[in-house]
Amino acid sequence: MHVTVASHYRLPVRGYGGTERVVVALVRGLAVLGHRVTLLAAPGTRIAEATVIEVSPRQLTDPNVLGTLVPRDADMLHVFFPVIRAPWHPFVQTLEGNLGAGAAVPPNNIFVSRDHARRSGSEVFAYNGLDPADFLFRSVKDDYHLFLGRLHSAKGYRWAIEGAKRGGHRLLLAGGWRPSFARNIKYVGEVDGRRKAELLAGAKCLWMPALWDEPFGLTTIEALFSGTPVLGTHRGALPEVIAPDVGALGDTLDEMIAAAETIDTRSAEACRAHAERYFSHLVMAEAYLRMYRHLLETGTLPPGRVTPFAPT
C-alpha cells in the first residue's frame, strides 16, 4: 500500500512534540511492514523511511490545496491536523487532543483510545505507538521517582509533589515552568533526547496523576519502554494503557501514595514487554492499516480494538 502521511510540522521534532513523534513512529512502522510512504511536512523535514515532499504549513492546511499535493498513485492520505472538508482523495485524520463539548467529530477521524472516542460518541480509535529503539532500558533503578510533562494543574503534578513529601521519596520534575520546591524535590527543566531517556530509564516509577481525561498519555508508554512502572489515575485512557503488572491506578492521592510503597516490585522486563506488545510503532501501524483497508473496502471506519486488560 502507498500511504501519504501529512503533518504541518518539521520532522523529526525538537523538544517534546508528542504528536510529531507519533507521526515519525507511524512512518517508520509502515515502512518496516513493507509499505511505501510519502510524507508531506514542513520544510527541513528529514525522515529516511519516507519520500519527503516539503510543503509550507499554510499550503498544507488549505483544504483547496491539500488534495493536489497527494501523489496520484497513493492509496490513502493520513492527516495529523484538522481537516473539516474531505479532499478528493481517500483519507483519514487523527486528532490527538480532546474535542470541545458538543463539537462535531471531524470527517473520518480516528481517535487515540476507546475513552477518547467514546467521549465524542465514536468507537473508532487506534492506540498511539512509539519505536522501542528510541528508549533506554534499565532493570536496576536509581533512587528517585519522576514526573515528566507540563507543570499544569490538569496534569496533577501537585499530587506528585505531595506524594513525595508524604512518602519521603526523592522526586524529579521535568517540564515547563519553574516553581520552588522542598529539599527532596528537584526541578530539572524541560528535557529531550538522551537526557530524557536516561531520566525515564533510571526512575523507580513515573507519576502520571492526571486530573483531566487524557486522550492517550504518551509519557506513560515512554516510561514502560524504559522498564519503568507507572502510577496513574483512572482518568481518560490510562486504564487502557496501564495494566496491574506494570503500574497502579488510584482515584485519590492517598491511594497513589499507598501504591507508591510497592510500585518498585513491578518487573522492568514486564514493563518493556507490555509496551512492545501493545504500543510499539509496528502495532500502531498495523492498527492503522486495518483502518485504511476497511475504509477503502467499505467506505466506513471500523471500531477500534481495545486492550484486553481495559475495564469494560
With CA atoms as reference, report the closest residue to 27 among 9, 44, 48.
Answer: 48
DSSP reduced 3-state for 268 = helix
The amino acid that residue 311 corresponds to is: P
281-308 per-position pLDDT tens digit: 999 999 999 999 999 999 999 999 999 9
C-alpha dist (Å) from residue 67 to 4, 14, 86, 89, 289: 11, 28, 9, 6, 20
DSSP 114-168: HHHHHTTT---B----B-GGGS---SS--S-EEEES---GGGTHHHHHHHHHHHT
- At the fourth CATH level, which superfamily is domain 132-277? Glycogen Phosphorylase B; (3.40.50.2000)
Is 85's pLDDT higher than 90?
no
The predicted structure's pLDDT at residue 156 = 87
Q: Given CA atoms 205, 249, 224, 17 in this order, what sign does their dihedral have?
A: negative
Domain boundaries, the chain: 2-130+281-298, 132-277
Is 142's pLDDT higher than 90?
yes
Q: Which residues contact 187 (CB under 8 A, 6 or more apart)?
A: 172, 173, 178, 179, 181
Is 264's pLDDT higher than 80?
yes
C-alpha dist (Å) from residue 123 to 34, 102, 108, 280, 299: 28, 17, 12, 21, 16
Confidence of residue 184 (pLDDT cuts 50, 70, 90): confident
How large is the average pLDDT for residues 118-125? 96
Q: Are 233 and 220 in contact (CB under 8 A)?
A: no
The predicted structure's pLDDT at residue 183 = 63
56-78 per-position pLDDT tens digit: 999 998 888 888 999 999 999 99
DSSP reduced 3-state for 9 = coil
Mean pLDDT of the chain: 93
Is 19's pLDDT higher than 80?
yes
Give 2-130+281-298's CATH code, choosing from 3.40.1080.10, 3.50.30.50, 3.40.50.2000, 3.40.50.620. Answer: 3.40.50.2000
**Model pTM score:** 0.93
With CA atoms as reference, report the closest residue to 84 among 106, 69, 62, 103.
Answer: 106
Task: Point out the least confidently predicted range of 149-153, 154-158, 276-280.
Answer: 149-153
Is 16's pLDDT higher than 90?
no
The predicted structure's pLDDT at residue 87 = 74
Do 132-277 and 2-130+281-298 fall under one CATH topology?
A: yes
The number of helices, as runs of H, and strands, as runs of E, in the chain is 11, 11
Is 22's pLDDT higher than 60?
yes
Is 182's pLDDT higher than 70?
no
The predicted structure's pLDDT at residue 172 = 93
In this predicted model, which residue has the larger pLDDT, 37 or 191?
A: 37
Is 4's pLDDT higher than 70?
yes
The CA R_g of the chain, rounded to the nearest whole Å, is 20
Confidence of residue 92 (pLDDT cuts 50, 70, 90): very high
- Specify burial of residue 48 (Cβ count, 10 A radius: 0-12, 13-18, 19+): exposed
Is 180's pLDDT higher than 60?
no
The predicted structure's pLDDT at residue 24 = 97
